[in-house]
Amino acid sequence: GGEPLLVPELTFVLARRINALGDLGYLRLNTNGFNLERYAESIAESGFTKVKLSVDRLDEAPNSKSLASVSGGIDKLQRYKVPLRINMVVSKDNLSDVPAMMDFCEKKEIEFKLFDMTFYKDALSSDPDFWKKHFVSLLPTAQELEEKYGEPKIVYAVGGYGNPMPVFRAESLAP
């Protein structure tokens, strides 16, 4: 949990040690991306096989992570040839950003994964009904993306565990 790029002295040392164990299949970095540009070289050198960015909006908004705030880091990581995926939690507040976010991902050849808003019993929030007020079904959005971009790749957790998740990919990334 937490943001690994807030503790780079730990994150990169740990990544290098894990990679020194041999080929474990993959090593991914999950980040909000705010420090992506600053640490792009260290990310590339540490052997991460993919960087997954949590980005929920195209433009700046209070208390949200936006594509505008991480685009410089995305460009820098792509120069280092580190594969990227944008993970977007979709709600009523950012549903209209989904098509443009997918267009951005297609242009940049980045995977794109949608998440629905999830209720967490112990989540810190000043509004216990936040989930109820902002939830939106992903089905119509996913169908719209599939019509425009083709069938998504279904991704399972390592070992085939967890819920299968569709990941939309630019055609040039398709297997």
pLDDT for 79-118, tens place per residue?
999 999 999 989 898 899 898 888 899 899 999 988 888 7
Contacts 24+ apart (CB under 8 A), 75-78: 76/36, 76/37, 76/40, 76/41, 77/36, 77/40, 77/43, 77/44, 77/51, 78/108
Residue 63 has pLDDT above 60, yes or no: no
Q: What is the pLDDT of residue 24?
A: 81
What number of other Cβ atoms are within 10 A of residue 82's Cβ? Answer: 20
Distance CA 140, CA 34 (A): 30
Q: Average pLDDT for residues 15-36, to the nearest whole number?
A: 90
- pLDDT mean across residues, the chain: 83
Distance CA 160, CA 1 (A): 22
**Smallest Cα–Cα separation from 146: which of 109, 85, 102?**
102
Distance CA 101, CA 86 (A): 9
Joined tokens for residue 96:
């209209």
Cα torsion 63, 65, 68, 72: sign: positive
Query: Which DSSP category does 6 fall into?
Result: G
Q: What is the pLDDT of residue 133?
A: 83
Alpha helices in 21-125 (DSSP H): 36-45, 71-79, 98-108
Tell me: the pLDDT tens digits for 129-170?
A: 777 788 888 888 888 888 888 888 776 666 666 666 667 765
Sheet containing 84-90: give its strands across. 28-31, 50-54, 84-90, 111-116, 165-168, 153-155
Residue 171: pLDDT band with limits 50, 70, 90: low
* Higher-confidence position of 143 and 67: 143
Q: Average pLDDT for residues 8-19, to the nearest whole number?
A: 94
Q: How many CA atoms lie within 13 A of 158 on its CB side?
A: 5
Residue 46 has pLDDT above 50, yes or no: yes
Q: What is the pLDDT of residue 175?
A: 47
Distance CA 165, CA 156 (A): 7
Q: What is the pLDDT of residue 76?
A: 94
Residue 125: pLDDT band with limits 50, 70, 90: low
